């Protein structure tokens, strides 16, 4: 029986229309005469979805008792007995009630598919098992119901149901997704614009990767070698020379002209490991291409043009960028060069760009052949066997009365030649072959004790012996060198792989890297020296090894080994002189040491820049607070004092007491503000830091409401809310400004709602008003100093309140942003860090958000 087909409607979030699209497809198939049944569809009380169920045959659900409640699940047995052509099964990631046929609904779907029934289902991107951690980091909600990625990937058809975040939130506000009593909680938590945008991007990228997989599978199944220009992919061929940076930048500019273009830089090394590429230059080029958004690839291939074209066609590239040859004119006698060969063999599906650069025709160094270091003892042993062995063997054979015969003599001498090759390499083996030929001729070939050979057969035998000895010596020596070279290259690759990985992940400090250099090469000390210019003295940027009391090297020339890194930096090692073949790995270490040093300095500069920016931001907030927040109590104090001093009015004792109370209240408020501002001033100068401590929001927020009329604010702060780690004084000022701004813009009779909720390791304080609101284009601008959107209906101000609030919020490690209030108005969202050590609180979301 043929397996059924699986079609999945994939969405970024609940409410995008997956179930509606699935039911629309069912109606289309019914109209075409297909036998379609509804195995399980949940409309969640949405009228438009419920209407779509009309006219479709529905399989009765199975009822299950669990913990005193009755639940309904898909009746798999009934569907199998009905055997429709197509079955609709909603919510693929759903977990069945205990006691069901299977634990997961996707397992029920697998049974239907095995029975030959085509299934149409739905799933949200957040329910894919591999994306659980990513979704939790975005939304703060851990998805309990997941489906293995492989189940979704095996689907015969995946259709993305897409909708913009703004459209989803409008549908939510209109009550088309959840019930009205759950709308505010959903919009404030899971369905925030940032969450929806991130989930939408996840869905689009996941589907795009799946489409790419389909395309690659189709091309492979149909043996399609030509390039399909579905997306611009530009391959940059690198040689490790200085022209690579020019090629990478040129390719990046080409990619920027088309949306979705990719840049893939590839360096092709020969399989024998012999290359003239600079490890430092390759490291720089790798960093450059990754900074420009491309990828770097290392490919092994003896045929450079063929390997490059194979790689380009393998990644479905559309263009290849190569540099003009660095060969001199006379070097073209050895061949046309890589660029000309690639251009000739690329075919019509690949465009080849030859880019000029400053290194054109300047020549390039030939690869340096590096043989294996056999060691002094092995070389001496090889020469002893190669030269002394034939002499000793001749003495032994001549003492025998009945020798083994010329044929066996030849084999014994040949054995000595092989041993000499294994021990000392090719030269001792050649010497052994020459000595053996002479000794065989002199002692064992008639007439003996002369170099004359009478029998032509003996001449042939000796000649063949010499030829075979030379050939065997060459092969054995080559095999020994290749084995040693392979082992060495493997060790080098492991070292470089570990080095590159640790540095790219930022796990290696300069001291740790220098210590690893010292251990790898067995040196006494390793130091990284640098200087500003050619005339400045060398200074030590980092050092490893030694007893610490010895002075550092004054210059690289004083070291046993020095490896330049650019013009004004060098890696200096003491202890022994390194062989030439070790310098390649040492050069890679030196290049990475320079990168690590640059990274450490950039991190330090970034930290200093952050501190300067923080100081500037706090200074700005202080100035804003002085001009904005101190004016109101000063005005009240001055008005009260002026009234008391006036001789035109005879104030009663009650009036005087009221005016004095106003003066006292204003003075208290000024004292409170000045205290906070002095703390902020000391913070700006670096003498103090914000007094971060754990505190409950219900201890701070009510204190911030002193400047607004009674009854104008409604508080909703749950008791189970976790504590926050903030500076209470700065938080109070921030909330006070936000509440005063919200009350100012709210219509008469409409109270401002101040509500708090927990979301993962954060606590959100939302101040919602029913005022005119602010368009999306102006939401960031209202936080700038001296900015007011529109005219305030009453009151005054210079437009600094929100700027001050955001400055204080960021100073205590929080964030402040603006959102639309469902139904009209604006909501200020103040996000604060929850106190450390407390478990994250899972927001009380509607069940549909996690199913």
pLDDT number for residue 785 = 59
Phi, psi of 573 (to 5 degrees): -125, 140
In angstroms, the CA 301 to CA 405 distance is: 50
Query: What's the mean pLDDT when you consider all of the chain?
Result: 79
In angstroms, the CA 815 to CA 834 distance is: 13
Sheet containing 539-545: order of strands: 539-545, 525-530, 569-574, 561-564
* Exposure b/e, 629-656, CB count within 10 A at least 16 = b: beebbeebbeebeebeeeeeeeeeeeee
In angstroms, the CA 102 to CA 90 distance is: 16
C-alpha distances out from residue 643 to 126, 508, 658, 668, Å: 65, 71, 11, 20
Structure tokens at 635: 């005005």
pLDDT digits (tens, 9 = 90+) for 18-42: 999 999 999 999 999 999 999 999 8
C-alpha distances out from residue 128 to 109, 136, 151, 849, Å: 16, 12, 10, 14
- For residue 529, which of 516, 519, 542 has the smallest C-alpha distance? 542
Please tell me the pTM assigned to this model. Answer: 0.40
C-alpha distances out from residue 229 to 18, 233, 294, 321, 343, Å: 31, 8, 18, 16, 18
pLDDT number for residue 23 = 93
730, containing H or E segment: helix 728-745
Structure tokens at 540: 């030590």
pLDDT digits (tens, 9 = 90+) for 522-556: 788 888 888 888 778 888 888 887 765 566 677 88
Q: Which residues pair with 561 in a beta bridge?
A: 573
Crossing angle for the helix pair 583-628 and 653-685, nearest 10 degrees? Answer: 160
In angstroms, the CA 339 to CA 325 distance is: 7
Please state the three-class secondary structure of 210-242 as a single string.
Answer: HHHHHHHHHHHHCCCCCCCCCCCEEEEEECCCC
In angstroms, the CA 96 to CA 107 distance is: 10
- Taking residues 633-662, what's their average pLDDT? 81
Q: Which residues pair with 826 in a beta bridge?
A: 820
* Exposure b/e, 159-181, CB count within 10 A at least 16 = b: bbbebebeebbebbbeeebbeee
- Our CA dihedral for 81, 87, 88, 94, rounded to 10 degrees, sits at 60
- What are the contacts of 476-485 at 24+ separation with CB within 8 A? 476/418, 476/421, 476/422, 476/429, 477/421, 477/425, 477/426, 477/429, 480/372, 480/421, 480/422, 480/425, 481/371, 481/372, 481/425, 484/372, 484/374, 485/272, 485/273, 485/370, 485/372
pLDDT number for residue 816 = 92
Pairing of β 525-530 and β 539-545: antiparallel
Is the pLDDT assigned to residue 43 strictly greater than 50?
yes
Strand, helix or coil at 189? coil
Residue 707 contacts residue 735 (beta carbons within 8 Å): no
Which sign does the torsion angle of CA 10, 14, 18, 23 carry?
positive
Structure tokens at 330: 């006379």
- Taking residues 153-176, what's their average pLDDT? 86
Q: Which residues pair with 71 in a beta bridge?
A: 64
Alpha helices in 629-702 (DSSP H): 631-645, 653-685, 697-700
pLDDT digits (tens, 9 = 90+) for 393-436: 888 888 876 767 777 887 888 888 888 877 877 788 888 888 88
More confident residue, 375 or 166: 166
More confident residue, 57 or 780: 57
Confidence of residue 676 (pLDDT cuts 50, 70, 90): low
In angstroms, the CA 248 to CA 237 distance is: 9
pLDDT digits (tens, 9 = 90+) for 747-776: 888 899 999 988 878 899 999 998 888 888
Question: What does the DSSP assignment read for 58-106?
Answer: EPPPEEEEETTEEEEE--HHHHHHH--SEEEE--TTPBPPTTSSSSBHH
Crossing angle for the helix pair 279-291 and 583-628, nearest 10 degrees? Answer: 30
pLDDT digits (tens, 9 = 90+) for 562-597: 888 877 888 888 887 766 567 777 888 888 888 888
More confident residue, 499 or 752: 752
Structure tokens at 455: 């029998």
Sheet containing 295-300: order of strands: 295-300, 262-269, 233-238, 319-323, 351-355
Phi, psi of 363 (to 5 degrees): 85, 160
In angstroms, the CA 174 to CA 183 distance is: 9
Strand, helix or coil at 718? coil
Is the pLDDT assigned to residue 626 strictly greater than 90?
no
More confident residue, 371 or 297: 297
pLDDT digits (tens, 9 = 90+) for 180-205: 777 777 777 778 888 888 888 888 87
Q: Which residues contact 323 (CB under 8 A, 6 or more apart)?
A: 237, 239, 241, 243, 244, 246, 247, 339, 354, 355, 356, 357, 359, 360
Residue 429 contacts residue 417 (beta carbons within 8 Å): yes
pLDDT number for residue 189 = 77
In angstroms, the CA 663 to CA 12 distance is: 58
pLDDT number for residue 281 = 78
Matching residue, tokens 């009663």: 652
pLDDT number for residue 236 = 93
**In angstroms, how far is CA 350 from the centroid of its own chain?**
30
């Amino acid at each position: 029986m043929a397996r059924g087909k699986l079609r999945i409607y994939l969405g970024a979030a609940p409410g995008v229309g997956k179930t509606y699209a699935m039911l629309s497809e069912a109606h289309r198939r019914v109209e075409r005469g297909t036998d379609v049944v509804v195995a399980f569809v949940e409309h969640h009380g949405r009228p438009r979805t419920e209407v779509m169920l009309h006219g479709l045959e529905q399989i009765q659900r199975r009822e299950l008792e669990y913990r005193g409640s009755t639940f309904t699940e898909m009746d798999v047995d009934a569907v199998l007995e009905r055997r429709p052509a197509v079955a609709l099964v909603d919510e693929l990631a759903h977990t069945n009630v205990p006691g069901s046929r299977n634990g997961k609904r996707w397992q029920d779907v697998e049974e239907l598919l095995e029975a030959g029934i085509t299934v149409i289902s739905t799933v949200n991107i957040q329910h894919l098992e591999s994306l659980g951690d990513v979704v939790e980091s975005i939304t703060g909600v851990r998805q309990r119901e997941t489906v293995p990625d492989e189940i979704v990937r095996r689907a015969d058809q995946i259709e993305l149901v897409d909708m913009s975040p703004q459209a989803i939130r409008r549908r939510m506000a209109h009550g088309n997704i959840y019930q009205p009593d759950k709308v505010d909680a959903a919009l404030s938590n899971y369905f925030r614009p940032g969450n929806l945008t991130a989930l939408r991007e996840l869905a689009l990228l996941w589907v795009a990767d799946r489409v790419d997989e389909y395309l690659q599978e189709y091309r492979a199944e149909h043996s399609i070698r030509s390039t399909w220009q579905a997306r611009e992919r530009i391959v940059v061929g690198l040689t490790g020379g200085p022209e690579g940076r020019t090629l990478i930048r040129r390719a990046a500019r080409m990619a920027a002209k088309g949306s979705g273009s990719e840049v893939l830089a590839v360096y092709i090394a020969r399989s024998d490991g012999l290359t003239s590429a600079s490890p430092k230059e390759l490291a720089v080029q790798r960093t450059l291409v990754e900074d420009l958004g491309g990828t770097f690839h290392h490919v092994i291939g003896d045929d450079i043009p063929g390997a490059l074209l194979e790689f380009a066609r393998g990644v479905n590239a559309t263009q290849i960028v190569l540099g003009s040859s660095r060969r001199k004119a006379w070097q073209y006698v050895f061949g046309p060069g890589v660029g000309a060969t690639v251009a000739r063999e690329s075919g019509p599906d690949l465009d080849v760009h030859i880019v000029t650069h400053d290194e054109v025709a300047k020549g390039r160094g030939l690869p340096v052949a590096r043989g294996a270091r056999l060691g002094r003892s092995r070389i001496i042993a090889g020469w002893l066997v190669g030269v002394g062995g034939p002499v000793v063997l001749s003495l032994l054979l001549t003492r025998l009365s009945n020798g083994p015969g010329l044929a066996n003599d030849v084999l014994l001498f040949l054995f000595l030649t092989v041993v000499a090759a294994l021990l000392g390499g090719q030269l001792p083996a050649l010497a052994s072959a020459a000595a053996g030929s002479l000794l065989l001729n002199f002692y064992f070939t008639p007439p003996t004790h002369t170099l004359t050979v009478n029998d032509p057969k003996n001449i042939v035998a000796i000649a063949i012996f010499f030829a075979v000895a030379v050939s065997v010596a060459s092969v054995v020596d080559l095999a020994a060198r290749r084995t040693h070279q392979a082992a060495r290259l493997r060790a080098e690759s492991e070292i470089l792989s570990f080095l590159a990985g640790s540095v790219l992940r930022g796990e290696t400090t300069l001291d740790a890297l220098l210590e690893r250099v010292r251990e790898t090469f067995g040196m006494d000390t390793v130091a990284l020296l640098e200087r500003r210019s050619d005339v400045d003295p060398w200074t030590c940027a980092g050092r490893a090894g030694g007893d610490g009391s010895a002075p550092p090297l004054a210059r690289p020339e004083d070291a046993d080994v020095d490896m330049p890194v650019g013009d004004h930096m060098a890696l200096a090692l003491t202890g022994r002189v390194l062989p030439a073949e070790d310098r390649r790995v040492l050069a890679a270490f030196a290049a990475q040491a320079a990168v690590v040093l640059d990274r450490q300095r950039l991190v330090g500069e970034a930290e200093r820049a952050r501190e300067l920016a923080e100081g500037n931001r706090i200074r700005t907030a202080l100035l804003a607070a002085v001009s904005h927040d101190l004016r109101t109590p000063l005005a009240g104090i001055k008005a009260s004092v002026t009234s008391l001093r006036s001789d035109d009015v005879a104030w009663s004792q009650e009036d005087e007491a009221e005016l004095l109370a106003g003066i006292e209240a204003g003075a208290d408020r000024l004292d409170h503000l000045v205290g906070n501002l002095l703390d902020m001033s000391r913070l700006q100068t670096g003498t103090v830091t914000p007094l971060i401590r754990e505190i409950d929001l219900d201890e701070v927020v009510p204190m911030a409401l002193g400047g607004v009329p009674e009854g104008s604010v409604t508080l909703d702060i749950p008791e189970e809310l976790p504590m926050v780690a903030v500076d209470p004084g700065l938080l109070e000022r921030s909330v006070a400004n936000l509440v005063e701004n919200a009350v100012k813009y709210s219509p008469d009779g409409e109270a401002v709602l101040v509500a708090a909720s927990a979301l993962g390791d954060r606590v959100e304080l939302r101040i919602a008003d029913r005022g005119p609101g602010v368009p999306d284009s102006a939401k960031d601008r209202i936080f700038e100093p001296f900015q007011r959107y529109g005219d305030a209906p009453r009151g005054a101000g210079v437009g600094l309140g929100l700027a001050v609030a955001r400055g204080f919020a960021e100073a205590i490690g929080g964030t402040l942003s603006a959102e639309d209030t469902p139904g009209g108005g604006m909501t200020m969202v103040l996000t604060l860090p929850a106190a450390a050590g407390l478990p994250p609180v899972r927001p009380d979301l509607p069940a549909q958000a996690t199913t």
